[in-house]
A and B are shown apart, each in its own frame.
Chain A
Amino acid sequence: MSRFYVLLIAILLGSMPVAQAGVTPAEAEALKGALTPVGAERAGNAAGTIPPWTGGYTTMPPGYRPGDPRPDPFGGEKPILTITAANYTAYADNLPEGAKALFKAFPDYRMNVYPTHRTAAAPAEVYENVFRNATRAHAVADGLSYGVEGAAGGIPFPIPQSGLEVVWNHLLAFWGAAREAHLSTYVVSAAGNVDLGASYREVADFPYYAPGVTPESVGAYYFKTRHIEDAPPSKYGEAYLAWQPLNIARTKFAAWRYVPGERRVRRGPSLSYDTPDPEASGFETLDEYYIFFGGPDRYDFKLLGKKEMYIPYNNNGLYQRPVKEILSRNHANPDDLRYELHRVWVVEGTLAPGKHHIAPKRRLYVDEDSWFAVYSDAWDEDGRLWKFGHATMYLVPDLPAIVLGSQFVYDLILGGYVYGFAFNGDPIQYKVTPPHPESAYTPETLATEAIR
């Protein structure tokens, strides 16, 4: 073959999206050895400050009923370290940029660090699926920026080779197959005023984790959610429906909104990417839900590596505190939050060519055990550090799992922050349920279920 044809073929191949595949069967065997069933390092660290993973926390309190508030199994512990504005520089390498900015700005900001408990767990079926996914998961035809195929029922890339694989693991992390909750979003202004952005009844399903699911049966959408608002009065009866696709090049994100004044369901606007969250008064964008949510295609994600960081973890105590106590001026009340030292994957996204986003650069910190992003830093178009996303990590032994939980999003430029997915004080908290029928997520049901 002439050099010309070789070059031509190379160019053509280079211009085609790469169908990234999983690891080899031999590599996947590590999930039964040095790695945990979901790909974390099974061993602790050399210093002994991170213990080995021994199966996670699966102990149910006696007499537990689904939806009951879950107790804090580590409530009796005392902090082993307090990071403050005075000493944070000594721990700078173990902190996200957003936390450093809060230390710099507010002398009373601090992190109480407790002993590390590697509580992450999952059902056996999820572990089996992760093992299968390791060798079969791959990018969709348009590339991994647009979706994943060949995987179901567990994170797709337990031994990640790229930033996008880590991002997909976060997007497809295990929250259970379905849930019901009553959630609230609070907005704290720079002046310290607390406003209820919205309270709503949420029903959510993860068809990706439906019992017995396979890559062939999983369907087009991995996540569906329905919100019906009951407060404040100005939002009473508003409702939202959203379906998140597995292949965003083939199946578009779908969303509907019920407007009580019109008594009808309207399609869109697209509740995704940098559209402001209507429930958070524009303090956060919709892809800041769950720290990072929706299509990753607007960014080129690069895997920066793995490191030990102080992250929010096992925060069941937080959900037992009253909101009034948690939401102090400038930042959450440090006494209500628990931090632990864990290993996280660090991934950085910069704006992809031809795409736009109001935050052209963001960095995600993803817990190795649960695969949830626990922090995000985001920069504005002038390169200023702008947003800081902060998960809380809620231990749900009845799944069993540790899930992302409620979250804070700080605006480091204009001031103020949002506390979202809050369920403090609600008698039914994050109720794990069997999957809901598909009819629960139709626009017709949205109109029927809406309050007025």
Chain B
Amino acid sequence: MSDRPQITDEELHAYIDGELSRVRAADITALAQYDRELARKIAAFRADKARLVELYGPVGERPVPAAWLHTIERAQRRSTIWPSRQTIYAIAASLALMVVSMATYKIIKPSDEDPTVAQALAARHESLVMTDAAGTVSTMEAANHVVQDILGPTIKTPDLSKLGYTLAAAHAMPERKAVTIDYRDGQNHVFTVYLSHSPGTERFDMLKRGATRICVWQDEELSAVMVGEMSAGEMLRLATLAYAGLTAA
């Protein structure tokens, strides 16, 4: 079982299409340098995209079906302004591309559309890869400083030793105003707590992506996404201890 969760396919497609923020795109570029599997996936998605363009790219240059032209021309007869023939072709080509795009999107649409979860999984991936990077701390006291610098003085680094997990590393992610805290148990299983400011909505969700269990627990101020390869029962116990520990007296 791998300890490293994948960056979601949705995020990778956005990365390839240039739709990610500059910061996030830079993160993925950097990660791909460390992670051969991620680099291979990016290359595979780029190849898929190239094949799609190859298959459907000439659609815009093909003759517009006569029935479409007839419909458009009939509509234009009622109009006082007559667009040029090129404009009609462009509209028809756009329609054709729209149909192709919708069909393609349906094929490649990723299943995970949850930005909170995607962000937490990406952050976990990043934190596991960059264990020795600058800004990484591994004592409870230092982790508390990291957490409180980013999230405020009342939030604490949870102590999970009661369930056999000890702090492995905490990373500040100031550009996202988030913190990732990794814990490991005696068998080197990793449990990650990704903390950020809440979007303002309450939420509790337990999700599963392959062997990875994800628990999203947030109130109107704090969002905690907890990730690990474990059963639902184990996640319930760990998530409860972690969530309670964030605000423990």
Contact = CB atoms under 8 A, between A and B. Distances in A.
Nearest first, the 5 A-B pairs at minimum CB distance are A282-B240, A268-B202, A282-B237, A282-B236, A276-B240
Contact of B154 (A234, A261, A277): A261
A376 B236 CA distance: 19
Contact of A261 (B217, B240, B248): B248
28 contacts: A234-B248, A257-B219, A259-B154, A259-B247, A260-B249, A261-B154, A261-B249, A262-B247, A266-B219, A266-B221, A267-B219, A267-B220, A269-B219, A274-B204, A275-B204, A276-B240, A277-B240, A278-B240, A278-B244, A280-B240, A282-B236, A282-B237, A380-B231, A386-B232, A386-B233, A413-B231, A414-B234, A414-B237
A88 interface: no
Interface in B194-241: 202-208, 217-221, 231-234, 236-241
Contacts of A273: 204
A266 B220 contact: yes
Contact of A356 (B205, B219, B234): B205
A269 B202 contact: yes
A381 B232 contact: yes
Contact of A285 (B154, B208, B220, B236): B236
Given A234-B248, A234-B249, A274-B204, A281 B237 contact: yes
A358 B249 contact: no
Chain A's interface size range is 20 to 34
Contacts of A262: 154, 247
Contacts of B234: 414
B82 to A, nearest CB: 42
B249 A270 contact: no
A411 interface: yes
Interface of B: 154, 202-208, 217-221, 231-234, 236-241, 243-244, 247-249
A270 B97 CA distance: 44
Given A260-B249, A275-B204, 17 more contacts: A257-B219, A259-B154, A261-B154, A261-B249, A266-B220, A267-B219, A268-B220, A269-B217, A270-B203, A276-B239, A276-B243, A356-B205, A356-B207, A381-B232, A413-B231, A413-B233, A414-B231
A236 interface: yes
B231 A270 contact: no
A259 B221 CA distance: 13
A236 B248 CA distance: 10
Interface string A355-383: 01010000000000000000000001100
Contact of B203 (A236, A261, A269, A414): A269
Contacts of A260: 249
Interface in A251-302: 257, 259-262, 266-270, 273-278, 280-283, 285
Contacts of B217: 269, 275
A262 B243 CA distance: 15
A237 interface: yes
